[in-house]
Amino acid sequence: MSSENHPDGYLRYQRRPIPDRDPAERTGDHREIYAPEWSEQQLREQATRCMDCGVPTCTAGCPIGNLIPDWNDLVSRGDWHNALDRLHGTNNFPEFTGYACPAPCEDACTLAYNDSPVTIKNMERAIVDRGWDEGWIMPQPPARRTGCHVALVGSGPAGLAAAQQLNRAGHRVSIFERDDAPGGLVRYGLPEFKFAKWRLDRRIEQLEAEGIRFHTGTELGRDMTLEALRREHDAVGLTIGAQHPRDVSIPGRELEGVVFAMPYLTRSNRLQAGRPAPAEPHAAGRSVVVLGGGDTGADCVATALRQGAEQVIQIGINEKPPIHRPATNPWPLPLRIYRQSYAQKEGGEERFSINSLAFLDEDGDGRVDMLEAERVQWIRDQAGRRVDREVLEDGLRLPADLVLIAAGFARPETDDLGAPELAIAGDGTIATDESMATSISDVFAGGDAAMGHSLLVWAIGEGRDLARSIDIHLQGESALPPSLRTRNRPLRADGWPSLQGAG
Ligand SMILES: Cc1cc2nc3c(=O)[nH]c(=O)nc-3n(C[C@H](O)[C@H](O)[C@H](O)COP(=O)(O)OP(=O)(O)OC[C@H]3O[C@@H](n4cnc5c(N)ncnc54)[C@H](O)[C@@H]3O)c2cc1C
């Protein structure tokens, strides 16, 4: 059933993804939104839709250069074990991406040009699910130790990927994490129903069995100094993420009930994990306004629906994206069109081009109860920045006893690291050179901390390259493979990697 044997697979089979659970049913619990079962026959048929293009634009569209046509071919033959090896060759944690990646690879699939793309993300999920089910994914401790010790600060996907790669290269690795459990945003950002935490725990167990040491509840700048870390280790990697939130500075911001998305999502994730959590913020019985049209906003909407919110309105400041690919966003770039989020499929209301003006406390009890806003038409400069507005509808008043600010993340939290000599780039990220070295010798940085808030797949790629850079620093050379992520490829003006030289 390979694409070689079935070059017409895409003509014989329509795209048929593994379905999600029915929205009406899934909002009644916090279990994953995905249908738990998939059919092997269906997946193998779907894999034959891959044409094994001479220039695999899917691979070029994947920030870590996943060898997508190879796995599709192997899956179509039923050779799941080799497919898993190929998958792990570029990605330490394919379940992170197989379940939660927005899959720019599918936008870049040749079939996406005038048909429906191959179900690449499903394929990734199915391969790694099968690997775990069959017991093929085992700890891989290194055959020999180099005698070098590396400290990583921050245990999100970048830190975890860097740790696994460095450990496999033979270095002793310790991860220091301020939270009470490792995983970064995968642990306390992504809701349980988007990525179940037992999947993360299973990976942490694998890493521990490989010899990686985790020190949770340990914050750089509070519980230890960078100087001490450098003294005790041969190299330090900073993978602290970029969780400093963007605020919405309008009158009433100080009112009770106007909160950032992360404390809200963290509380919910802690409750789902049976860990101690504060009483607030919660959405039960409340009118919730989510400020921010992105993924974090969607996760807030879906969480509020599960908590029994009275109503949930998600507000985007920008215009509603177009329904079809505009000429300014040509294939194979990631699609910038309107796609209804999984959360909006579950309920709630979505509004675009809304400019928030003030949070109001009409009954004077110190708690927000209304959002005042206007609907606008933005006037933008040549770079696309909002410079002015035409008001289309003023005096909008939206009931709001809980406002969740999900306006994105500005930069890493570097203020309290206690390392003033650490150079910071103009955009607030930790400044690094091409080898991911910071301004402090033996200290490197990667992931969102160095590239700004991004996606799981970029963070994994950053972690892999951070490991390679540190390995070269310690040993003069490295057998660890580089990823295909941004730093090895020219960037386009819109921030996505150029397809030049890929494939
Ligand atoms: C709500 C939400 C949903 C998301 N959903 C998706 C999705 O569906 N798909 C997707 O691809 N991406 C998603 N993302 C983005 C993705 O989670 C991030 O890009 C990714 O986790 C970044 O990885 P990282 O390792 O660089 O940083 P993080 O995951 O942020 O991890 C950084 C870690 O460093 C720790 N840390 C920080 N400072 C210190 C210190 N001083 N000392 C010790 N430890 C410290 C933090 O506690 C944290 O554990 C989402 C993000 C959010 C917020």
Q: Concatenated DSSP letters for 440-461?
A: STTEEE-THHHH-S--HHHHHH
Higher pLDDT, 280 or 384: 280
Look-up: residue for tokens 């193998």? 44
pLDDT at residue 201, as a whole number: 98
Q: What is the mean pLDDT of residues 435-462?
A: 96
Domain boundaries, position 459: 149-243+410-488
* Residues of the chain above pLDDT 70, percent: 95
pLDDT at residue 501, as a whole number: 33
CA distances (Å), 270 to each of 31, 112, 205, 274, in order? 15, 39, 20, 6
Q: Which of 357, 387, 407 is the last residue of a domain?
A: 407
Asked if 389 and 464 sit in the same domain, the reply is no
Identify the band that residue 7 occupies on the pLDDT scale cut at 50, 70 and 90.
Answer: confident
Assess whether the C-beta atom of 244 lies below 6 angstroms from ligand 1.
no
Q: Calculate ∠ Cα 152-155-160, nearest 5°.
A: 80
Assess whether the C-beta atom of 245 lies below 6 angstroms from ligand 1.
no
| Substitution site in 185, 295, 454 for ligand 1 pocket (most atoms within 8 Å of beta carbon) | 185
Question: 460-470: per-residue pLDDT in tens?
Answer: 999 999 999 99
Q: What is the mean pLDDT of residues 435-458?
A: 96
pLDDT at residue 168, as a whole number: 97
Give the containing element (helix H, strand E) for 423. Answer: none
pLDDT at residue 384, as a whole number: 87
Dihedral in degrees, nearest 10, Cα atoms 314, 317, 319, 320: -20
State which ligand 1 atom lies nearest to the alpha carbon of 176. Answer: 43
Provide the residue type at 270 as one letter. R
Assess whether the C-beta atom of 157 lies below 6 angstroms from ligand 1.
yes
State which ligand 1 atom lies nearest to the alpha carbon of 454. Answer: 19
> Is 3 a member of any domain?
no
Instruction: State the DSSP code for 314.
Output: E
Question: How many domains does the chain contain in total?
Answer: 3
238: domain CATH number?
3.50.50.60
pLDDT at residue 34, as a whole number: 96
Asked if 46 and 125 sit in the same domain, the reply is yes
Q: What is the mean pLDDT of residues 361-381?
A: 97
> Angle of helix 80-88 relative to helix 68-76, nearest 10 degrees?
170
Question: 112-147: per-residue pLDDT in tens?
Answer: 999 999 999 999 999 999 999 999 999 999 999 999
Q: Which two three-digit tokens encode residue 264?
A: 């809200």
Lowest mean pLDDT among 227-236, 277-286, 477-486: 477-486
Q: In what order do the strands lie in the sheet with 311-315?
A: 258-260, 402-405, 287-291, 311-315, 349-351
Q: What is the mean pLDDT of residues 40-59?
A: 94
Query: For the chain, how big is the Rg over CA atoms in Å?
Result: 23
> Is 16 a member of any domain?
yes
Q: Using the mean position of ligand 1's atoms as its centre, give its distance from the Cα of residue 156 in Å.
A: 5
Q: Using the mean position of ligand 1's atoms as its centre, give its distance from the Cα of residue 153 in Å.
A: 12
Lowest mean pLDDT among 380-384, 440-444, 487-491: 487-491
Asked if 403 and 416 sit in the same domain, the reply is no
Asked if 293 and 176 sit in the same domain, the reply is no
Asked if 66 and 130 sit in the same domain, the reply is yes
Q: What is the pTM of this model?
A: 0.95
Identify the band that residue 497 occupies on the pLDDT scale cut at 50, 70 and 90.
Answer: very low
Q: Which of 407, 439, 462 is the last residue of a domain?
A: 407
Asked if 255 and 396 sit in the same domain, the reply is yes
Q: How far apart are CA 46 and CA 6, in angstroms?
A: 11
Question: 81-109: per-residue pLDDT in tens?
Answer: 999 999 999 999 999 999 999 999 999 99
Question: 235-265: per-residue pLDDT in tens?
Answer: 999 999 999 999 999 999 999 999 999 999 9
Question: 402-427: per-residue pLDDT in tens?
Answer: 999 999 999 999 999 999 999 999 99
Which ranges constitute the DSSP H helices of 18-134? 23-26, 40-47, 57-61, 68-76, 80-88, 94-100, 104-108, 120-134
Q: Which two three-digit tokens encode residue 315?
A: 């507000």
